[in-house]
Homo-oligomer: A and B are copies of this chain.
Amino acid sequence: MTKSKSKSYVDFKYQVTVSFSESFLCESLFSQSAFVNRPALGILPPENFPDKLIESLLSIAPSGMTRVQTMACGSCSNENAFKTMFIWYRNKERGYANPSEQEVGTCMINQSPGCPDLSILSFMGAFHGRTLGCLATTHSKVIHKLDIPSFDWPIAPFPKLQYPLEEFVRENAQEEARCLEEVEDLIVKWRQKGKPVAGIVIEPIQAEGGDNHASPDFFIKLRNIARKHGCAFHVDEVQTGGGTTGKFWAHEHWGLDDPADVVSFSKKLLTGGYYHRDELQPDKPYRIFNTWMGDPSKNLFLSEVLNVIRRENLLEEVTRSGKALLQGLYALQTQYPHILSRARGQGTFCAIDACNDATRDSIMIKARNKGLFMGSCGEKTIRFRPTLVFKEYHVHQLLNILNDVLAEHK
């Protein structure tokens, strides 16, 4: 076994291609129990775990955030982020005093005030996961929601914008203003209902819901509305985080120093988890806890992935490929206006609509048979989610295949 030999592993959809050298794996393997044990991270973390967090997750912490909590998957990340916001909100309401006897007594039997009637405001078309708390903020597809009990939490409209964004600035600003007004109305209404909004959760780009974008201005104003009403602001980067938008976090495109109170992640980060501001740290240990709280071996992989992203300037690569991809999609929708419309994207996180779902599905199958695997989202959207090593020549290959498929389309 030569130490210099390396192998390349590719998981097309959910991971960048990384060359792990055998030496990295074998040395790590026998020097680290991470690969053969599943520690209970919250109580028995590996000795070097804080250092490993600094090398991996904390090296890419969003602006204003110094704390990170790992979790085993995206849903658990959002569930625990919601809990963090609820705990923070109630502690504010109580003036950081100890809970009352009544709270202590009622919480054990699921009743208010111990289990308070708090809510999380989400957006129509959102996807934040499928466990019961997350699912109450998910509004993308019937198959996700049907038959599962839910919470009476407020749901605001997400802006329905016209693309390309720069050609419809005035119309889109109006639509965004309408949605923001509705957000404030809902916050007031749910407070009056006795179910105050403890947090607002939103994706920087609604992914499952159909790759719906909004302007930085929309998010900046929403962040301010959250602050004004004392709600935590939770940016869910489970789909958008990790570099595909051309920045490591999609919210960096907003240009804020203080973009959020909580940022959750999973997928490309190889581990679930969430960052939060100091202020949201729970007041006592074990309030946010479970047996595994993630898996430290995945942090080691993430460190390697980050090394590759930095060494190979993959974010610049994504920005370059993304521009070429979006230009190509604009050209295709001009050429096939009866089939395609609404090309949009940030980095390589791109999408285009077909005229209906049957056409979308047919295009996808034909493209797959020619070697191009694309995803779907929303009602009739094709979404592009290439890995970070997707280069300009890959864009041309993609566009050629797509063009062939469209040319054949009746």
Q: Taking beta carbons and an 8 Å cutoff, which residues of A are in contact with B? A: 1, 7, 9, 11-15, 18, 20, 22, 25-26, 29-30, 33, 35-40, 44, 72-76, 79-80, 82-83, 86-87, 89-91, 99, 103-104, 107-111, 114-119, 124, 129-133, 136, 139, 142-143, 145-153, 155, 266-267, 270, 272, 284, 286-287, 289-292, 295, 298, 301
Contacts and interface: CB of A to CB of B under 8 A. Distances in A.
Contacts of A129: 290
A14 B35 contact: no
15 contacts: A7-B30, A9-B33, A11-B33, A11-B39, A14-B291, A18-B36, A22-B30, A38-B298, A107-B142, A111-B150, A111-B152, A115-B146, A115-B149, A131-B133, A143-B286
Given A13-B40, A118-B149, 17 more contacts: A20-B36, A25-B36, A26-B26, A29-B29, A72-B272, A75-B76, A76-B131, A79-B131, A87-B147, A90-B146, A109-B139, A110-B136, A118-B147, A119-B149, A130-B289, A131-B133, A295-B295
B83 A148 contact: yes
Contact of A148 (B25, B115, B155, B272): B115
Given A72-B76, A151-B149, A155-B109, A37 B13 contact: no
A142 B25 contact: no
Q: Interface residues of A: mostly helix, strand, loop or mixed? A: loop
Contacts of A29: 25-26, 29
Contact of A74 (B37, B99, B290): B290
Chain copies in the assembly?
A: 2
A30 B29 CA distance: 13
A387 to B, nearest CB: 12
Nearest to A37: B11
Nearest to A125: B108
Contacts of A39: 11, 14
Nearest to A272: B72
Contacts of A152: 110-111
A151 to B, nearest CB: 6
Nearest to A140: B108
Contact of A146 (B26, B76, B107, B272): B107
Given A149-B116, A155-B109, A38 B15 contact: yes
A25 B36 CA distance: 9
B38 A117 contact: no
A130 to B, nearest CB: 6
Contact of A36 (B12, B75, B301): B301
A155 B110 CA distance: 9
B75 A110 contact: no
- Which of A11, A72, A267: most chain B Cβ within 10 A? A72
B76 A145 contact: no
- Which of A25, A132, A151: most chain B Cβ within 10 A? A132
A141 to B, nearest CB: 8
A75 B131 contact: yes
A102 to B, nearest CB: 12
A132 B131 contact: yes
B14 A82 contact: no
B147 A116 contact: yes
A107 B139 CA distance: 8
Contacts of A40: 13-14
